Structure 1
């Protein structure tokens, strides 16, 4: 590894000295999977009162239920003890402030990279997108009908969750 990661390796040395989770398995002790954004302001375990090993945390830009999230949920449900899913986007999300076209243009203009072959899953209407993603999980043919699916928007300025019903 390069020196760009020295701070992380040093922090890991400290962490490993008092590591106490060797008894955990890959199963979600609380039966929960959380689909949330990659935004670094979100600390999903702490904001939900969870600990290491309690839940599967699936993160991507915008907390979108993509094909890869569905693939991961199948594994989480059938192999890792998940029986409920919380989809949790957040306020002040960059994916809710732009269109895919604007993101492509910005990256092209600033970095000279053509990203038009990618879909960024930007969000014009966050509540509508959340409801659509919840329905996508509920109706996905490879996931069981018994799977509980909920949604809430996390407010990055207050720390509160705002539940969204279908």
Structure 2
């Protein structure tokens, strides 16, 4: 018996009525979204988009890390991305804790020292970090000026996006 049997059974049920195959992999709505890994966020649904409409990159805090930037460059040049939304959210753990506090919580959970752990996505000012991330994308040499980049905060309690940048 597998630790994943429940999920594999759910996938089997899903696959029985699956009829969304055959997509070509490009962002049909021309959208890319960088957002948090938080499961309260449904990136496509919150924008009225569907399967195949957008490229989505998720990480703690919805930060534009080197990996996110790599995904955006690929999206812009190979996958029809014309608009980029950077979307952190309210009540985010990486925006409401210090790096030291998160390390302490991890150390307590893991039962071992986590003082060496590098948590680069932690922010002390979410609005400032969002503005920096938008500027980082806008100024990247492989993101053309005609690609629109916006910074938004998603409210996990109302479902609303608030454009900040």
TM bin, normalised by shorter chain, reads over 0.9
Cα deviation code 1:45-75 (max 9, x no counterpart) = 1111010000001000000000110011111
C-alpha distance in 2 between matches for 1:113 and 1:68: 27
Per-residue deviation, 1:117? 4.5
SS at match of 1:122: coil
For the 8 Å contact 2:103–2:117, the answer to whether it is kept is: no
C-alpha distance in 2 between matches for 1:115 and 1:9: 37
C-alpha distance in 2 between matches for 1:47 and 1:93: 17
1:148 is aligned to 2:145: no
Task: State how many pairs are aligned.
Answer: 164
For the 8 Å contact 2:87–2:152, the answer to whether it is kept is: yes
Partner of 2:163: 163
Partner of 1:116: 116
Q: 1:4-153 to 2 correspondence within 5 Å?
A: 4-111=3-110, 112-114=112-114, 116-153=116-153
SS at match of 1:35: strand
Per-residue deviation, 1:113? 4.1
TM-score by length of 1: 0.93
Q: Write out the 4+ residue segments of structure 1 that deviate beyond 4 Å after TM superposition.
A: none
Unaligned runs of at least 5 residues, structure 2: none
For the 8 Å contact 1:35–1:58, the answer to whether it is kept is: yes
SS at match of 2:25: coil
Per-residue deviation, 1:23? 2.5
Per-residue deviation, 1:158? 0.7
